[in-house]
Amino acid sequence: MKLKTCLAPPAQPTFGSLSLLLIRIVAGVAFMMHGWGKIQHPFSWMGPEGYPGFFQFLGALSEFGGGLAWVLGLLTPLASLGIACTMVVATYKMAVEWEAPFVATEMGQPSYELSALYFCLSLVLLTVGPGRFSLDYLLFGRKA
């Protein structure tokens, strides 16, 4: 299978493409903001007690770079896969290791609601694509 075929987004109606654009921009900017501090120190943002440096780098890259890719609608399947993997780890850490609830009952308490939601958004963009208003559509065309 050609790379261009894998990156070509499926055809979407205009309203669906506008909705996907809005989701990509809002979630992408949020990821860039979450990842900004991490990308400044990509191999050590968790400190010495965190995961090995390479995995910290992948997390920082998927958050900041994946967020930027979502905003642009560029390499959306790859960005979505990276973000999905990062959110699986974040959800596991919050739900299992920290035993946080799904939704916090008091302000300021940890929960895994947001990481689960971002995981679901990444699956939507991975399976549905970025829509017509994206660089993927401009560069790679569309799947019939």
**Nearest Cα to Cα of residue 10 among 139, 132, 135, 134:** 132
Q: Which residue has the higher pLDDT, 92 or 11?
A: 92
- Please count the CA atoms within 13 angstroms of the CA of 49 that sit on its side-chain side: 0
pLDDT tens track for 74-118: 999 999 999 999 999 999 999 999 999 999 989 989 999 999 999
DSSP state of 133: S
Return the beta strands (E) in the chain as ranges: none
Q: Which residue has the higher pLDDT, 138 or 5?
A: 138
Looking at residue 1, what is its pLDDT?
Answer: 61
pLDDT tens track for 42-52: 999 998 888 89
Instruction: Write down the domain spans for the chain.
Output: 3-140
Q: Which residue has the higher pLDDT, 132 or 49?
A: 132
**Nearest Cα to Cα of residue 31 among 57, 82, 65:** 65
DSSP state of 38: H
- Please count the CA atoms within 13 angstroms of the CA of 120 that sit on its side-chain side: 6
